[in-house]
Structure 1
């Protein structure tokens, strides 16, 4: 009683036909989940922040605090 020889011809193609669609499906699903759980909320947070952001006001506050070495506060 001997064991039958394993079928090696076409094994890679047979396994790829099974595993490749699964890999693509998981990759697309992961990309979509990342897009809607990470990047979209981040874009919304940036948009909300810059709606009321005043760069000149922020610059003047940092200048008054002495953050910049090359810009003097307005009182001097």
Structure 2
């Protein structure tokens, strides 16, 4: 009594027909989820930050704190 030989002809094609659409569907789902849970809030946070950001004020504050070696504070 022996076991029957496994059917290997066409096995890759059969498995790909089943798994490939699932892989594509999951990858699209993950990409859309990443877009709306990570990138959109990040873009909104950057937009909110730069809406009220004043680069000149920030520069003057760093200059007064002595961060830059090549720029003297305005009091000197």
Q: Establish whether TM, by shorter chain, passes 0.5.
A: yes
- The 4+ residue runs of structure 1 with deviation greater than 3 A are none
- Equivalent residue runs for 1:1-76 within 5 Å: 1-76=1-76
Q: Normalization by structure 1: what TM-score?
A: 0.96
Count of residues paired in the alignment: 76
Offset at residue 4 of structure 1 (A): 1.7
Offset at residue 2 of structure 1 (A): 2.8
RMSD: 0.7
Q: Normalization by structure 2: what TM-score?
A: 0.96
In the aligned structure 2, how far is the partner of 1:4 from the partner of 1:22?
Answer: 31
Gaps of 5+ in 2: none
